[in-house]
Chain A
Amino acid sequence: MRASPGGRAALAEFRANLKAAPRRLYESAFRSGAPTTDRSRSTFVFGNVFLHLHAVRTHRWSLRWTTTLGLGVMSASAFLITLVTGVMLMFYYKPSPDLAYQSIKDIHFVVPTGRLIRNIHRWAANVMVVAVILHMARAFYTSAYRSPREYNWLIGLLLLVVTLGLSFTGYLLPWDQLAYWAITIGANIAQSPRELTDALGVTGLFDPGGFQRLLLLGSDVVGQEALIRFYLLHVMILPLALAALAAVHFWRIRKDGGLTRPADADARLAREPAADTYPVFTEAPLRTYHLAAVVRGRTPAVNDGPEHTLPSMPHLFYAELGVLMLTLLVCVALALVSDAPLKELANPSVPENPAKAPWYFLGLQEMVAFSAFMGGMGIPLIVLLGLALIPFLDRETSATGEWWGGPGGWPLVKRSALVGLAAPVAIEAFAIRFGWLREWFPAIPQLVVTAVNPATLLTAAYAAYSVWCIRRHQSARAGALALFTCFLGGFVVLTAIGTYFRGPNWVFYWSPADWPTH
């Protein structure tokens, strides 16, 4: 039987469609084509669900490396690295007290690249904590929290808390001595409101501390229930929370008008014109759009296009890729020279001595060595509350977007850094040399020790100094500059003491070489 002429045409069309299928698949996925014109560069960004968290065009001020030092992108990059390496580790890790330690040993000694992947995971987590803290400092010192960015500052604080939570929950998973005792201490810090309720005699009626510990451990002891809870938090709940918050954080940058920049950024950039900027609107609109009648906020710029901006593709994205590669390089290099620690198998009857938390919690551990509640919960909560209030107390507008901007400026930051570093050194030296209230008056009520100890005195000293700075400079921003700098100084000193100068029984030693052998 012969095919009809019409049938032959249909077959030819079928062949042509088949031939064109790959090209059409490509075109249906990437509708804007290569980003070679301003128009296709724009669609490249807003036609992509992931990229459109960015604006289509980026201000040249944002692209100067001194604006951000790339710290935000570095935090996100480190998170991506921990995400990928973490998923790899999940192939072998078994969250059970009988198997966890052995599975980490397998990853270290048996699994091809397992040791490197685990090292990268651990180092990327450390890089992330450092990058997040420095990123917060950058945002603070350039006044990037100011209106309209208050909300994003709060989201950033939540991201800091989740980042620390991720590190803390990951610390237990190897189920070695270090992990077991650090988590025992951590869980008891969660229980530390009991220090207060016990002293007031109301624990029987109202016991938030005991409830928090039970919620965290799922049992009275650190065991299987605690391990599975920490695992669930570490691989599921906290990463999801972090991803959701990060998406809001990035999106908000765009909705808040890009990164903070000085009011005269355009004028300053005009003095150093770049070769590839040109007027975006050759005929700038002369009238405010009618749309302005229905949107809230300031009137759109009239007589002016979005000058001093560059297409985000390629300028911003290539810079971000550069930071990602740099972060990866740093993590891999550190992973090659230094192994993630793994001590002996967890032993519930012999505490590790000294039992140290990860380095970024050692400042807290130094404070809990005076009062569990104040050091572990009270003061961290006060610090977080203070940080959250900054954008609502500093409503000034001068020098926004300038490093160290505000009344007092760089000299004030230097002076505050000196105070911030000297005060904890002095208080610690006193407490180490002469002891504290309990040694002088063994019968003293616990409430007095909770209220008056080196950690609370340090906090009070910082607060008093910053109030003095507000008065002296007649500016809330000056007080914030002083307090934030002091807080960073205190963090550095307490962390350093906890890391390098505390040995067995949390006794002060000048060097680990002086530790008694046992």
Chain B
Amino acid sequence: MTVTPKPSRSRLDAEPVSRRDWLGLTSLGVTAGALLFGLVGLLRLPKAAVLSSPSKKFRVALPEGLPAGEAFVPPGRAVAVFRDARGVHAISITCTHLGCLVKPTAAGFECPCHGSRFAADGSVTKGPAPRPLPWLKVSVSGSEVTIDEGTAVASGTKEV
């Protein structure tokens, strides 16, 4: 009977996975999974369920002698309100490019930050702004106007 010697293995060759190593790897995997699960829980923290932002809906009284086509910007709000014979409408004055406040001018709106220009109806005429300024939902009751900055309406929508 001849004994065939096992092929000798160099110390430098990788060892096959033994039972003990398998258990070790499994527990390592479980640890990693548990930590990952905890991390996912942690990652929920930075996004609050209720944001500390100011309310998007507000009521404002338009000045008595507001000329047709002239913008009225309520203090502290990023909205321009217009009144003419066909009704009241509001256009957001937050630039759709990078969020600067655009300035109402005779021709429309001008952004001070990167030179975007908008026509009086909010459409882009020049510069990097990717979208027109949105028209916002307004509802008129007597001399007061309620404006909802969170709800956009179709361009050209006016309320009486």
Contact A506 B113 (CB under 8 A): yes
Judged by a CB distance under 8 angstroms, whether A361 is at the interface is no
Interface-facing stretch out of B17-25, B59-67, B94-102, B138-146: B94-102
Nearest CB of chain B from residue A276's CB, rounded to whole Å: 41
Chain A residue numbers with a CB within 8 Å of B100 are: 181, 184-185, 351, 355
Judged by a CB distance under 8 angstroms, whether B126 is at the interface is yes
Judged by a CB distance under 8 angstroms, whether B39 is at the interface is no
Chain B residue numbers with a CB within 8 Å of A218 are: 46-48, 51-52
Which residues of A from 365 to 402 have beta carbons under 8 Å from B?
365, 368-372
Contact A353 B112 (CB under 8 A): yes
Interface-facing stretch out of B29-37, B83-91, B127-135, B151-159: B127-135
Interface-facing stretch out of A67-75, A136-144, A219-227, A320-328: A219-227
Contact A438 B52 (CB under 8 A): no
Judged by a CB distance under 8 angstroms, whether A428 is at the interface is no
How far is A220 from B92 in the complex, measured between Cα atoms in Å?
15
Judged by a CB distance under 8 angstroms, whether A189 is at the interface is yes
Contact B101 A372 (CB under 8 A): no
Judged by a CB distance under 8 angstroms, whether B81 is at the interface is no
Judged by a CB distance under 8 angstroms, whether A132 is at the interface is no
Contact A370 B98 (CB under 8 A): no
Which of A181, A184, A446 is in CB contact (< 8 Å) with B130? Answer: A446
Choose among A192, A293, A294, A349 the residue with the greatest number of B CB atoms under 10 Å from its CB. Answer: A349
Judged by a CB distance under 8 angstroms, whether A505 is at the interface is yes
Chain A residue numbers with a CB within 8 Å of B78 are: 349
How far is A214 from B111 in the complex, measured between Cα atoms in Å?
23
How far is A372 from B76 in the complex, measured between Cα atoms in Å?
26
Given A184-B98, A368-B114: A449 in contact with B53 (beta carbons within 8 A): no
Contact A372 B126 (CB under 8 A): no
Contact B111 A505 (CB under 8 A): yes
Contact A442 B123 (CB under 8 A): yes
Judged by a CB distance under 8 angstroms, whether B115 is at the interface is yes
Contact A439 B101 (CB under 8 A): no
Range of interface residues on B (Cβ < 8 Å): 20 to 34
Nearest CB of chain B from residue A237's CB, rounded to whole Å: 12
How far is A328 from B77 in the complex, measured between Cα atoms in Å?
46
Contact B112 A504 (CB under 8 A): yes
A224: nearest residue on chain B (CB-CB)? B52
How far is A403 from B47 in the complex, measured between Cα atoms in Å?
49
Judged by a CB distance under 8 angstroms, whether A188 is at the interface is yes
Judged by a CB distance under 8 angstroms, whether B41 is at the interface is no
How far is A215 from B45 in the complex, measured between Cα atoms in Å?
10
Contact A214 B47 (CB under 8 A): yes
Chain A residue numbers with a CB within 8 Å of B131 are: 198, 446
A184: nearest residue on chain B (CB-CB)? B99
Judged by a CB distance under 8 angstroms, whether B5 is at the interface is no
Chain A residue numbers with a CB within 8 Å of B123 are: 442
Nearest CB of chain A from residue B8's CB, rounded to whole Å: 15
Chain B residue numbers with a CB within 8 Å of A215 are: 46-47
Given A438-B124, A439-B126: A372 in contact with B98 (beta carbons within 8 A): yes
How far is A442 from B131 in the complex, measured between Cα atoms in Å?
11
Judged by a CB distance under 8 angstroms, whether B125 is at the interface is yes
How far is A355 from B127 in the complex, measured between Cα atoms in Å?
16
Contact B113 A372 (CB under 8 A): no
How far is A504 from B99 in the complex, measured between Cα atoms in Å?
16
B115: nearest residue on chain A (CB-CB)? A506
Which of A185, A229, A442 is in CB contact (< 8 Å) with B99? Answer: A185
Which of B48, B97, B112, B124 is in CB contact (< 8 Å) with A505? Answer: B112
Interface string of A198-223 (1 = CB under 8 A from B): 11000000000000001100111101
A367: nearest residue on chain B (CB-CB)? B128
Chain A residue numbers with a CB within 8 Å of B101 are: 349-351
Judged by a CB distance under 8 angstroms, whether A187 is at the interface is yes
Chain A residue numbers with a CB within 8 Å of B9 are: none
A370: nearest residue on chain B (CB-CB)? B128
Q: What would 11 A/B residue contacts be, using CB atoms closer than 8 Å?
A: A181-B113, A185-B113, A187-B99, A214-B51, A218-B48, A219-B51, A220-B53, A351-B100, A355-B113, A439-B126, A442-B125
Additional A-B contact list (8), CB under 8 Å, known A181-B113, A350-B101, A370-B128: A195-B130, A199-B130, A218-B46, A224-B52, A348-B76, A349-B78, A368-B97, A369-B115
Residues of B within 8 A of A (CB): 11-12, 46-48, 51-54, 75-78, 97-101, 110-115, 123-128, 130-131
Q: Across chains A and B, which 7 residue pairs bring their CB atoms closest together, nearest first?
A: A353-B112, A220-B53, A188-B99, A188-B98, A506-B115, A369-B114, A351-B100
